[in-house]
Amino acid sequence: MVQYLVGKAHGGYSVAERVQQFGSRVERRLKPAFEAAGAGYPPEEAAFLAFKDSRTVEVCARNAGQPWRLVKAYPVLAASGGPGPKLKEGDHQVPEGVYRIESLNPNSRFHLSVRLNYPNEFDRRMAQADGRTNLGGDIMIHGNSVSVGCLAMGDDAAEDLFVLSALVGKERMKVLIGPTDFRSSGVFRPAAVPPWVDSLYASLREELRQFPKVR
């Protein structure tokens, strides 16, 4: 038993063990918000919508035959860079685009983390067209309050997002990251970005249409 506890202190948790460890308190925090939004907990699908300018991550959810519901919004405690997509390793930019959850890390040095599939197909295609290589990677949504190229949410929020992702299943999750909320913003284009950013932002704007906006 002592060896087991020492091993856990140095990592080695499974996703299932972390869900068992944090699941009850995450449910206590999240279930009332889901019920107030008219969504069951856990939902069949969920999405995280991240906006750089407001430094927020919105959680939306839906079940079969229902529209997307806005459940909760979390503040981003730390994120490096500014508006505009990530172009290369070391640019300290948070990516922008539509991403999947690639994996969950139950032993993150930032408490818990959700790993995105950056660079995705669009990122790689644009890099090839630009002649760029070394795009970077390991982009996470994680706990703690420090970050370089990732979204640091604090430990409680990281538990919520990690457990929710585990319960829903990463194949039924999506993550949208944009410089601003295109549901309310007009034309938005940062300075000194590649021409293809216009098509990226058009696709983000279209994706966001299906999600309810905070009133």
Q: Which residues are catalytic?
A: 142, 150
Three-state helix/strand/coil letters over the chain: CHHHHHHHHCCCCCHHHHHHHHHHHHHHHHHHHHHHHCCCCCCCEEEEEEECCCCEEEEEEECCCCCCEEEEEEECCECCCCCCCCCCCCCCCCCCEEECEEEEECCCCCCCEEEECCCCHHHHHHHHHHCCCCCCCCCEEECCCCCCCCEECCHHHHHHHHHHHHHHCHHHEEEEEECCCCCCCCCCCCCCCCCCHHHHHHHHHHHHCCCCCCC
Q: What is the number of other CB atoms lying within 10 angstroms of the CB of residue 125?
A: 12
| Residue pointed to by tokens 């070394």 | 134
Structure tokens at 79: 């994120």
CA 99/CA 1 separation, integer angstroms: 40
